[in-house]
Structure 1
Amino acid sequence: MPQPARPRLLLVTDLSYPARGRRYGDEDTWLAARLREEFDLALCHPLDARALAGSFDAVLVRNSGPVLHHQEAWDAFRAHALATGLRVYNPLNGKGDMAGKGYLLDLTAAGYPVIPTVDRAEELHRLPEAPSYAVKPVAGADSIGLEFLPREEVAARLDGGVLAQPRVDFRYEVSFFYVDREFRYALYAPDPGRRWELAPYEATPADLAFAGRFVEWNGLTHGVTRVDACRTRAGELLLVELEDLNPYLSLDLLGEEEREGFVAALKRSLRAFIAQE
């Protein structure tokens, strides 16, 4: 009796991308091996995704580096996917970093617990006083274009394509990882000066209520989301970034139970995503 066909999955990654403090290639090589247990899978570079995607049931975008490095090819792939109904995971209707950092303005205006953000000189008065301010492109990623400036220099930079935030004095940064809308694990950087050195973090109910608000706001039914936050000196959590395109997962830092739980959840999510009408 013939075996049912296995779903075909194209994993988009850049195995050679030189990420600071993170081994993109190692993570995606390991993850690909685990996904092959249930999917017929191939890997390709983001520059080849549009040409190859039509032969697969879904495209999984993983550690492909910032879109800025291949913006034209990504825009063409995205337009092709939307026009043809190609299944892309994460789905392309996310409201977080996949759409640029303008969501920080929306969340600020809506009163969410986020680092206050403006993009116009006439709105600079809305930001609290701080020793310096972070200025970064709306289309930025991986700290590309990030500067720290005194308040008197910020106004001249705000032209609608740049965001400004007060530089927060925080105790540590923490990331919450979700598959679909289910929390899987959390990691944090105990030393603010060594933000790539992560350790396991025991999330409290209050932490999960915080992170869950942003996952719900984003509205993705399927997908992997990383909610990045900082803990202020006063103990408050503030959103730093809502990564919903290709978040690095730091799977090598997890214990076996957490890692296996994540893989099982991702497989379930991908199967449901591919099977949906």
Structure 2
Amino acid sequence: MPLLYVTDLAYPARGRRYCDEDILLTSRLREHFPLALCHPLDAAAVMADFDAVVVRNSGPVLHYQEAYDAFRAVARAAGTRVYNPLTGRGDMAGKQYLLDLTAAGYPVIPTIDDPADLALLPAAPSYAVKPKQGADSIGLTFTAHPGGPAGVNLIQPRIDFAYEVSFYFVDDAFQYALHAPDPARRWQLEPYEATAADLDFARAFIEWNTLSHGIQRVDACRAPSGELLLVELEDLNPYLSLDLVPPAAQEAFVTALTRSLHSFLTV
């Protein structure tokens, strides 16, 4: 069953090389599937010739929002299998999930989208303000007095966290975790030994998202109180930092992804 693998090999990610990761993954997936690569701007035009489309390191879709929306519309109309499935409730659907999870009482950085609701957030000397349709920290600012119209920006208390940590899943199976010991250097990552409590935290968001198949990354920060708080639920095209994990973990990830794709293609 031929796969169309969507990636932007030239995307200039800060502190990461998208192309290396996708060269590695496609070299391994070719052992199991006929496979071709294409740029995200070309996916809608060529995907009819493939049994499924695998969206990987294609960059923030806000840089090509019209083409991405057209891709989703064509895929839905044709019943094309897209991996990750287009039913994701995390970043794939925008940032509304941060508001929904806050309202539902999940352990997430408290989030509002209306400056008039500032009293609903824990008091803080500074607040993070970022576009509701943003990605990759584009447009992120910090201010003591958030303003502007309702529904445009996300507003969160600025948290003096100890470190950030990411948990990587294929389907609902945990694969590995990485953390950034220095909060000022988000992409200088090291392997992280996740505790049972950490995994319970991460799995709660995987379960909430209800994707039957796919790659997901749960990004969190360790708050001053010691608890983990969700930063982002990446379910569109999460970068995996596979070059930073031990060979055994890398091999296990490739095996899990291959198994997931075989299952996805037979659903």
Q: Aligned match of 1:98 in 62, 81, 92?
A: 92
Amino-acid identity (%): 68
Structure 2 residue 44 is matched with structure 1 residue 53: no
Aligned runs of 1:24-39 on 2, under 5 Å?
24-39=18-33
Aligned runs of 1:189-204 on 2, under 5 Å?
189-204=180-195
Aligned length: 267
Q: Is the 8 A contact 2:115 2:155 kept in 1?
A: no
Mapped partners of 1:33, 1:27: distance in 2: 10
Report the alpha carbon displacement of residue 122 of structure 1 after superposing the two structures with TM: 2.5
SS of structure 1 residue aligned to 2:162 = strand
Mapped partners of 1:122, 1:47: distance in 2: 39
Report the alpha carbon displacement of residue 145 of structure 1 after superposing the two structures with TM: 1.1
Structure 2 residue 154 is matched with structure 1 residue 163: yes
Q: Which residue of 2 aligns with 1:227?
A: 218
What is the one-letter code of the residue matched to 1:214?
F
Mapped partners of 1:15, 1:236: distance in 2: 37
Q: Aligned match of 1:250 in 235, 241, 244?
A: 241
Q: Which residue of 2 aligns with 1:117?
A: 111
Mapped partners of 1:138, 1:22: distance in 2: 24
What is the one-letter code of the residue matched to 2:105?
G
Q: Which residue of 1 aligns with 2:64?
A: 70
Report the alpha carbon displacement of residue 201 of structure 1 after superposing the two structures with TM: 0.2
Q: Aligned match of 1:213 in 204, 221, 236?
A: 204
Q: Is the 8 A contact 2:161 2:183 kept in 1?
A: yes
| Consecutive aligned runs of 4 or more in structure 1 exceeding 6 Å deviation | none
Mapped partners of 2:199, 2:148: distance in 1: 36
Report the alpha carbon displacement of residue 180 of structure 1 after superposing the two structures with TM: 0.2
What is the one-letter code of the residue matched to 1:8?
P
Mapped partners of 1:140, 1:120: distance in 2: 16
Q: Which residue of 2 aligns with 1:11?
A: 5
- Deviation per residue, 1:151-180 (Å, 9 max, x gap): x2x1x2242121100001100000000000
Report the alpha carbon displacement of residue 207 of structure 1 after superposing the two structures with TM: 0.1
Q: Aligned match of 1:180 in 157, 171, 174?
A: 171
Report the alpha carbon displacement of residue 121 of structure 1 after superposing the two structures with TM: 2.4
Structure 2 residue 14 is matched with structure 1 residue 23: no
Report the alpha carbon displacement of residue 233 of structure 1 after superposing the two structures with TM: 1.8
Mapped partners of 1:214, 1:157: distance in 2: 30
Mapped partners of 2:140, 2:31: distance in 1: 41
TM (normalized to structure 2)? 0.99
SS of structure 2 residue aligned to 1:14 = coil
- Deviation per residue, 1:130-157 (Å, 9 max, x gap): 121011111110001111111x2x1x22
Mapped partners of 1:119, 1:142: distance in 2: 18
SS of structure 2 residue aligned to 1:148 = strand
CA 1:166–1:158 in 2, change beyond 3 Å: closer, same or farther? farther
Higher mean displacement: 218-227 or 115-124: 115-124
Mapped partners of 1:194, 1:254: distance in 2: 18
- Deviation per residue, 1:46-88 (Å, 9 max, x gap): 0000011001010000000000111110000001111110000
Q: Which residue of 2 aligns with 1:44?
A: 38
Higher mean displacement: 217-226 or 159-168: 159-168
Mapped partners of 2:115, 2:198: distance in 1: 33
